Amino acid sequence: MLVTGAGRGIGAAVARAAAAQRYNVVINYTNSRGPADTLAAELRETGVRAYTVRADVADEAEVVEMFADVDRQFGRLDVLVNNAGIAGGYGPLATVTAEMLARLWAVNITGPFLCAREAAARMRTDEGGLGGSIINISSKAAVLGGPNEWVYYAASKGALDTMTTGLAKELANVGVRVNGVRPGLIESDFHLHAPPGRVERMAPGIPMERSGSAAEVAGAVVWLASAEASYVTGAFIDVTGGR
């Protein structure tokens, strides 16, 4: 399993959950080398192979080299988790700039497309692959819109959802399943972009009256990757506490 943006947060939780299910794990990072290396060492202690690779998913050459590295290290790829993403900032429409949008689209949309392209080329059964699973980490913001805070982030995740639906149909008959997970109010450093206390302020408004954990998101990801979800493609699991 290759997990992009896995040095911390939801990505790191997915890597841990995958290792618990005996997946060998490739931990991609861009700037979090220290945490990625520490995580890889932790996973290796459990008896699985864990390998770190630095690549900016928005850079096509780096993505191509990352997948070539996976080929060299493992010889196959069973699961891609498109987790890498950025918030882009925080604020209403008036705070939007072209520079901010360009980087946001590059990481949150271009990156998953490039990684899905490379993963599918290795997985698809009509080209010699053994099949596989692509799981895109979206956000409930894709449905709710993120008004006054992250409309641009929500829009990027809406595009990711459309990609998930389209690729699920395109790749269904070549052994590649494509699904999405939409986290809601999850305890992570994502909220550092917002004014302090955002999670505490919003938690009472969630039907379950609490925030979620990265581990709870990871559970949904690992299930979608498993044989138990063998007839599931083009689906979305909302990990939102009912929001």
pTM of this prediction exceeds 0.75? yes
pLDDT, average across residues 31-41: 95
Hey, which residues does 186 pair with through a beta bridge?
212
Domain boundaries, the chain: 2-239
Q: Is the domain defined by 2-239 classed in CATH 3.40.50.300?
A: no
| Residue-averaged pLDDT of the chain | 96
Q: What are the CA-CA distances from residue 84 to residues 7, 65, 125, 169, 192 (Å)?
A: 10, 17, 26, 23, 17
For this structure, is 153 an active site residue? yes
For residues 208-217, average pLDDT: 96
Q: Helix 111-123 vs helix 60-74: angle between axes, to the nearest 10 degrees? A: 30
Q: Please tell me the distance from the alpha carbon of residue 123 to that of residue 108, in angstroms, as a whole number.
A: 22
Confirm if 186 and 213 have CB atoms less than 8 A apart: yes
What's the sign of the alpha-carbon dihedral 209, 213, 217, 223? negative
Q: What is the pLDDT of residues 159-197, one digit of tens each?
A: 999 999 999 999 999 999 999 999 999 988 776 677 888
Question: Residue 35: is its pLDDT beyond 80?
Answer: yes
- b/e for 5-27, b at 16 or more Cβ within 10 A? bbbbbbbbbbbbbbbeeebbbbb
Catalytic residue among 23, 51, 152, 153: 153
